[in-house]
Structure 1
Amino acid sequence: MHPLTITVYDRNVRHMLSDDNQSSSHHTPDGNSHAMFPTNIKYVFEDDDTSLAPTESENDDGIENMIIVNLEESGTLSGVELISDQFEMLSYKGVTSGNDPMVDDVELEVVSQFTDLSNLVHDLPLDELIRLYVIQNEQMQTISNSM
C-alpha cells in the first residue's frame, strides 16, 4: 500500500471571524476553514497483515481522535469514519491522480465544537450574521442527518 495524505478541514464559522488558533492549523486560502494534517499516528491495521499489531501494551490515554480509512484492494476509497469528542465529520472525499483509481489523498470536512460567537460578532452587519448562522444551521443539519 502506498502512503496517503490525510487533510482535515475544520469548517467551523469561528475560523472566518478570528485567527487566534493558528498554532495547530493553517488558514486556508478561501478563509473559510483551517487545514490540519493529522500527526502522531499510533496504529495502522490491515486485515491481511498481522505483523502491524501493537508490539507492546501502550497507554492509549493520549489518543484524542481516530480516523478510520477503508480502502478496497484496488486502492479505491470505500469509506471514512471519524471518532472524536472535538469534531464531527461533515463529508469526505478521496483524491486520485490521473486515471488511476488508487486514492492518493483523503480530505475530510469536519466541524469543531460550536462555541459562543457573541464576543466575535458584535460589530458585524445583520446580513453577515445571517450568513454565518445559515452556515451553522446547514452544518447541524448535515450532522443530524448522518446519525
Structure 2
Amino acid sequence: MSSDRLIGVDIDDETLGASGPDAEHERRVAIFDLLEDNHFKVIDKDEGPYQLNLSKAERRLVFAIRNEAGEDVHTFILSLGPFRGVIRDYFMICDSYYDAIRTQSPHQIEAIDMARRGIHNEGSELLAERLEGKIDVDFSTARRLFTLICALHAGQTRAAG
C-alpha cells in the first residue's frame, strides 16, 4: 500500500465543533470515505502515510499534517474566501435536490443531481488548484476533501444560525 495517503483525520472541536448529531454524522461519513481511498502527499516530503488535523483560524482552514509517528511534517493554511461562492451554490443546489426528491419527476431530479455534481466538481477542482505545489491529491481525493470541507462548513453555519 502506498505511503502517499491519509491514515487519520482529526477535527478540532474548539474551532470546528459540530452543531449537532446530524452535522457530526456528516463529518464521520466524509472522513470514512476519505480514509477509505485517497492519494495525499506533501510535496518534497517522503514521510507518509499522513495524519491530518483540521482546525480553523479566523477564516482559514488549517491543515496540520503529521507522519504516522505523530511528528509534525507540514502546516498549510487554506483561505476559505475563494470557496464561499461555490459552497453557497452547492448548499443551495443540495436544498433544491432534497426538495425535488419529494415533489419532482425522476427526470427533474436527475437534472438537479447533475447540476449538484457539477458544482461539487467545481469545488473539488478549486481545492486541487489551491493545494497545488503544496499537497498532491488526485481528483477523487480532492472530491472527498471538498465533501469534508462542506460538512465542516455546514456544521459551522448551522451552529451560527
TM-score, with structure 1 as normaliser:
0.28
- Which one has a bigger Cα radius of gyration? 1
**Higher percent of residues as strand:** 1
TM-score, with structure 2 as normaliser:
0.26
**Higher percent of residues as helix:** 2
